[in-house]
Amino acid sequence: MKHAFAALVVLSLATTPALAQEEGEGNRLSEGWGLLSEGSRLLLEGLADEMRPLVDEHLIPMIAALGELIDDVALYELPERLPNGDIIIRRRVTEPEADGEGAPSDPVDL
């Protein structure tokens, strides 16, 4: 978490506009911004390298398992929170398939 906070600080400093400087200091300022940019790039690459094993070992298998459970996200309603704090995700009610799958077996008299 400390690394993520440090990355945010560096990125926010790197994106702030430079103040007007005298011509002699302008070259030093641009050199400093270049060094800051390079340092932030190295910091973010280091964070990505540290997180890669966690993502490979835990996050990717978890997403794959979730993908097996949920066929299509469009088949579900938006999550809703109950008064007791539980979160439920209801499956959308769909019409029976026209190809006979899910259709009633008894004919309907009209």
- Give the model confidence (pLDDT) of 36-88 as tens digits: 999 999 999 999 999 999 889 999 999 888 888 877 788 889 999 999 999 99
Angle of the 23-54 helix axis to the 2-15 helix axis, nearest 10? 150
Q: How would residue 98 be classed by pLDDT, with cut points 50, 70 and 90?
A: low
pTM of the model: 0.38
> What does the pLDDT read at residue 20?
47
Give me the torsion for CA of 60, 65, 71, 73, rounded to 10°: -50
Q: How far apart are CA 35 and CA 30, in angstroms?
A: 9
Q: How would residue 19 be classed by pLDDT, with cut points 50, 70 and 90?
A: very low
> What does the pLDDT read at residue 14?
58
> What percentage of the chain exceeds 70 in pLDDT?
63
